Amino acid sequence: MALRRFRPITAGRRHAVKVDQGELSRKGPEKRLLGKISSSGGRNSQGRVTNVNTGGGHKRRYRLIDFKRVKRGVPAKVVALEYDPNRSANLALLCYRDGVKSYIIAPNGLQVGGSVESGELAEVKLGNSLPLKSIPTGQPIHNIELKPGGGGQLVRSAGNAAQLVAKEGKYALVKLPSGEMRKILSECYATVGGVGNSDHSNQEFGKAGRSRWLGIRPKNRGVARNPVDHPMGGGEGKTSGGRHPVSVTAVPAKGYKTRKNKRTARFIVRKRGAKK
């Protein structure tokens, strides 16, 4: 998809850059594949504000997405490509031979009228879902399962793709977009190709109002606050140096490791950001 720039008719249009959605369907979403979704407004279960930068935004309906690709061995036709307000990637509406419809994350290059399939015997082509043991090494993949039958959890945002590096016994070695090298059971399914809508990261909102539509409230810097409001606040004049950058709850930023899942640490061959 290409990027759209606008004539500077207004101040908000002057710097706005949007993704051209000419390829996407103009009809509404499939009603049977919609669910309810409620916004938290940045509040926890006790009603207290835990994220001051969240609130408002346009009302949304959740699209039920088939991350498991449960209909194995049944070809499906791509009926439409649709926008999803809940994620950066676009969706592809599939219609199977028996008339059942479902949504999947649209891979980069998938066209309306194309055919996709899932299963061990499926062909290795764009949009098809296969177990890692059936995918050749070097192939870009997305929507990767962490547990067999658990549904895709990794590499689902716009423009991302992982790479199947090697196969070692019952495990496959996958290089994730962050640079992390991870062992995943070769029985886990993944979809061939990268995620579409790769120009999503090149958009420019152009005005503050577009952030508010997405439920993002204004952010102000910690150094601009008072000491009672933030650990980095206070000082005479501009005092940006001399303090280690931290969050409101004094958790260090800029390189502080927060990962504590020791149970799955043995599956990580190389951490993200590690020097080669």
The CATH class of the 20-201 domain is mainly beta
Length of the chain in residues, anyone? 276
Residue-level pLDDT at 274: 74
Return left, alpha or beta for 12; rule: phi > 0 is left, psi -120 to 50 is alpha, else beta: alpha
What end-to-end distance do the CA atoms of the chain give, in Å?
33
Q: What is the pLDDT of residues 147-194, one digit of tens each?
A: 999 999 999 999 999 999 999 999 999 999 999 999 999 999 999 999
13 and 27 Cβ atoms separated by less than 8 Å: no
- Nearest Cα residue to 116 out of 151, 69, 64: 69
- Nearest Cα residue to 56 out of 45, 37, 36, 41: 41
Residue-level pLDDT at 275: 67
Q: What is the pLDDT of residues 20-32, one digit of tens each?
A: 999 999 999 999 9
* CA angle (47 as vertex; 41, 51 as ends), nearest 5: 45
Q: What is the mean pLDDT of each run of 10 residues along the chain (276 residues)?
A: 91 95 93 94 94 94 96 95 96 94 96 94 95 96 96 96 95 96 97 95 95 95 90 84 83 89 92 76
Q: Is the pTM of this model over 0.75?
A: yes
Q: Give the amino acid at 115.
A: S
Q: Give the amino acid at 171.
A: Y
> Residue 130 is encoded by which pair of tokens?
């296969």
- Nearest Cα residue to 158 out of 209, 95, 105: 105
Helix (H) or strand (E) holding 18: strand 17-19
CA distance 261 to 264: 6
